[in-house]
């Protein structure tokens, strides 16, 4: 960066890039400037452009300097320098113009697994996911993801599409209520809410793209910059000794830098006990261990299992009984010293009302891609906060699901607050990490996909190259988790 560039930054770079074809819309008069057209945002067209430096706020700013660049590279360097100095979004917007929804697309991702795996309920030979892209009139896109079978959630999104085209993309709450009410008599839980979750997430992403802000800033600002990651996995394979390959997997997770792992149980009480004890011996006392039975037991069996592994310092016992059996949850919770977690198979604030009010669960696990999206999960978390119940969102899917969950987790207040609050955890299914702590990045990236924001971390997507996203990427050590492109392998298993 030249000395002139540095002086230009100190003037308070506004971030307005004007393509030569649009210069007629730029009004400069007596040291102030404004843009007369709707699209007073960063120009995406190739070729030369103008960069304006200004001071002040509001629709009309005092003009300091105008510089011309042959292409956007010089301006991008200048913008990064200005953002680093000011700590705010370096884009000028005299007023926020409405953004209507132009189109909605669904992407069904499915691929055969190289090696089938099983958890306590079923074997899986294929993996899938369903992504939703909502396109605004300005050409920007927001991405969302639905938990559940893609062949069932995609048609519901197509039904929602007819109700959203041409509507205000900023009216997320209005759209959520309208879509929920439209299928209220047919889908208070399950597939309809999972599809609604994807739409809600995509709308938040689109707003972040349009406003140049991360989603966590839009829903209240970050309460934290890093989230402890735990490694899940430990599924069964068709061949080999389960204890041998699961112990090897535990050692690999520890070597990768994880300080917490979650074991899959539900394969028989005695076998589960042997596995937990073997894993604890292999990883030592410093590793945090959670267990997940995926509702494989009734209350009697879950209590028997829990009492046999209580001495192993288990962080939580997830889904010990079926999600419909709230009385069973209460029995297990009353009988064990291990905290009880659950809620990934529950939907909306109405579904979580009774578990919260009855304090049937110690740690709630709403899934952003299933329980109603970012909008609804924030309400669920606020309800739990009022009752003193912990919330640790469930995550399973592509990078879209992970990014959306991190945005939500970033905004959840410590409950209760203090100098040493209980850390939040995020589930990483197959990560590359050194530290085991995914963070909201504070650095920029040259290749982006999704919506632009400050700080400028991104979720890269080959299918939407050179766009940016309102979701910040999870950063583990020195490497970032990237969003899966729509043509890549997804994940729809529980």
Which residue ranges form the domains of the chain, and what is each CATH number?
3-86 (no CATH), 101-210 (3.30.390.10), 218-480 (3.20.20.120)
Section 469-481 average pLDDT: 34
Tell me which of 346 and 421 has the higher pLDDT.
346
Does residue 144 carry a pLDDT above 90?
Answer: yes
Does residue 475 carry a pLDDT above 60?
Answer: no
Does residue 446 carry a pLDDT above 70?
Answer: no
Question: What per-residue confidence (pLDDT) applies to 42?
Answer: 41
Question: What per-residue confidence (pLDDT) applies to 418?
Answer: 82
Cα–Cα dist 271/277, whole Å: 10
Is residue 129 within 8 Å of 490, Cβ to Cβ? Answer: yes
Segment among 8-22, 229-243, 270-284 with least mean pLDDT: 8-22
pLDDT tens for residues 45-95? 444 445 554 444 444 444 444 444 445 455 555 555 544 333 333 333 344
The position carrying tokens 């969950």 is 405
Q: Is 175 a catalytic residue?
A: no
Segment among 27-41, 192-206, 365-379, 465-479 with least mean pLDDT: 465-479
Active-site pick, 175, 210, 295, 394: 394
Tell me which of 139 and 189 has the higher pLDDT.
189
Cα–Cα dist 318/305, whole Å: 12
Does residue 152 carry a pLDDT above 80?
Answer: yes
Question: What per-residue confidence (pLDDT) applies to 433?
Answer: 36
Radius of gyration of the chain measured on its C-alpha atoms: 24
pLDDT tens for residues 101-137? 999 999 999 999 999 999 999 999 999 999 999 999 8
Is residue 79 within 8 Å of 13, Cβ to Cβ? Answer: yes
Q: What percent of the chain has pLDDT over 90?
A: 60
């Amino acid at each position: 960066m030249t000395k002139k560039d540095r002086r230009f930054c100190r003037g308070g770079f506004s971030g307005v890039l004007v393509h030569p074809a649009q210069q007629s819309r730029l009004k400069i008069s007596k040291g102030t400037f404004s843009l007369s057209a709707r699209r007073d945002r960063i120009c995406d067209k190739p070729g030369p452009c103008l960069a304006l430096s200004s001071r002040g706020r509001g629709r009309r700013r005092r003009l300091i300097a105008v510089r011309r660049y042959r292409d956007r590279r010089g301006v991008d360097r200048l913008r990064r320098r200005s953002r680093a100095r000011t700590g705010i979004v370096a884009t000028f917007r005299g007023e926020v113009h409405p953004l209507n929804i132009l189109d909605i697309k669904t992407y069904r991702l499915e691929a055969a697994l190289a090696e089938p795996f099983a958890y306590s309920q079923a074997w899986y030979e294929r993996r899938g996911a369903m992504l939703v892209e909502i396109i605004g009139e300005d050409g920007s896109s927001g991405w969302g993801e639905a938990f559940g079978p893609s062949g069932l959630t995609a048609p519901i999104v197509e039904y929602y599409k007819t109700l959203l085209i041409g509507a205000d993309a900023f009216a997320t709450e209005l759209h959520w209520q309208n879509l929920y009410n439209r299928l209220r008599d047919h889908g208070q839980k399950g597939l309809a809410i999972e599809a609604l979750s994807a739409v809600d997430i995509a709308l938040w992403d689109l707003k972040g793209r349009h406003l140049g802000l991360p989603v966590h800033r839009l829903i209240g600002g970050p309460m934290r910059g890093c989230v402890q990651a735990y490694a899940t996995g430990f599924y069964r394979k068709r061949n080999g000794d389960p204890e041998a390959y699961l112990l090897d997997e535990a050692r690999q997770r520890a070597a990768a830098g994880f300080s917490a792992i979650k074991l899959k149980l539900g394969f028989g009480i005695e076998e589960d006990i042997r596995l937990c004890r073997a894993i604890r011996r292999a990883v030592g006392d410093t590793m945090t261990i959670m267990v997940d039975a995926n509702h494989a037991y009734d209350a009697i069996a879950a209590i028997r299992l829990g009492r046999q592994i209580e001495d192993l310092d288990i962080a939580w016992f997830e889904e010990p009984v079926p999600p419909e059996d709230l009385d069973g949850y209460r029995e297990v919770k009353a009988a064990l010293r291990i905290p009880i977690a659950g809620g990934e198979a529950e939907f909306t604030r109405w579904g979580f009302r009774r578990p919260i009010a009855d304090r049937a669960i110690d740690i709630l696990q709403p899934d952003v891609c299933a329980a109603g999206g970012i909008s609804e999960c924030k309400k669920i978390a606020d309800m739990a906060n009022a009752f003193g119940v912990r919330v640790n969102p469930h995550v399973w899917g592509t990078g879209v699901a992970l990014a959306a969950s991190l945005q939500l987790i970033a905004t959840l207040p410590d409950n209760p607050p203090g100098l040493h609050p209980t850390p939040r955890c995020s589930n990483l299914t197959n990560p590359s990490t050194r530290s085991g702590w995914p963070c909201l990045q504070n650095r920029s990236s040259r290749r982006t996909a999704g919506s632009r924001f400050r700080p400028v971390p991104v979720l890269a997507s080959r299918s939407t190259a050179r766009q940016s996203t309102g979701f910040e990427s999870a950063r583990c050590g020195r490497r970032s988790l990237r969003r899966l492109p729509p043509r890549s392998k997804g994940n729809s298993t529980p």
